[in-house]
Amino acid sequence: MPITDTNIEAIPLSTDTYIILHPEANYDLEVCRQATTSTYTIGKMNYKYHHDTFASFVFKLFPEITLLEIHNLQKVINRYIP
């Protein structure tokens, strides 16, 4: 697991939506949307202990996403949150 000061890049989902990882937080995965003037959270989850529900979490937020895209996201996330 990365140490606290590790810089983890945002994982893009679309042009204005991305995932931010906080490995030591209770809700270690956060989905954010960038508006013209601010950024706001559209969903949070505890990925470390509930990674088996990640597909349904993402699918509820983005019904157009495919299972292959979800799988590729999990491969990126698993590098930071085992």
Query: Once rounded to an integer, what is the mean pLDDT over residues 61-71?
Result: 93
Q: Is residue 51, in this structure, part of any structural domain at all?
A: yes
Strand partners, 31: 19, 43
Q: Check pLDDT > 70 for residue 3.
A: no
pLDDT reported for residue 10 = 87
pLDDT of residue 79: 86
Residue 25 lies in a domain: yes
Q: What is the pLDDT of residue 81?
A: 79
Q: What is the pLDDT of residue 5?
A: 47
Q: Which residue has the tokens 């990882």?
A: 21
Cβ-count burial 6-34 (b if 16+ within 10 Å, e if not): eeeeeeebeeeebbbbbbeeeebbbbbbe
Look at residue 62 and tell me if it is in a domain. Answer: yes
* Domain that includes residue 26, residue range: 11-77
pLDDT score recorded for residue 7:
57
Band (pLDDT 50/70/90 cuts) for residue 1 is: very low
Structural domains in the chain (count): 1
What are the DSSP E strand ranges found in 1-82? 11-12, 17-21, 29-34, 39-45
Residue 4 lies in a domain: no
